[in-house]
Amino acid sequence: MKGGIVYYRIIPADKDRGFVMLASWIKPVVLRTSSYSHTISVVSQANIDRALEKVRYNLNAESYVDQTDPGITKRLAKIMAAQETPAPATE
């Protein structure tokens, strides 16, 4: 049987060691109330999607809702954009 809606939030890990995805059945999503956590050490859309699939599988969730703070979302987008930009060629 599928569960209900799971709320997730991405927060920075201590000492710039990547990010942590927290998942919870209730809002607000904080470490104390989270049912599942997953470390994201290399930020990419593929790794975030993989973490969401693990949340869906482990918690048997029907769907999930993003509760990530807008500042963190911008920071993640900036990191992913920097990874996609090729380095300038040196001659």
For residue range 42-54, what is the model confidence (pLDDT) as tens digits? 888 999 999 999 9
Total domains present in the chain = 1
Residue 90 pLDDT level (bands cut at 50, 70, 90): low
Q: Which residues pair with 37 in a beta bridge?
A: 22
Give the separation between CA 83 and CA 70, rounded to whole angstroms: 20
Is residue 89 included in any domain, yes or no? no
Domain of 56, in residue numbers:
5-84
Is residue 54 included in any domain, yes or no? yes
Is residue 71 included in any domain, yes or no? yes
Is residue 53 included in any domain, yes or no? yes
Is residue 69 included in any domain, yes or no? yes
Give the pLDDT score at 88. 64
CA-angle at 88, arms to 87 and 91, nearest 5°? 130
pLDDT at 1 over 70: no
Note the pLDDT tens digit of each residue in 61-76. 888 899 999 999 999 9
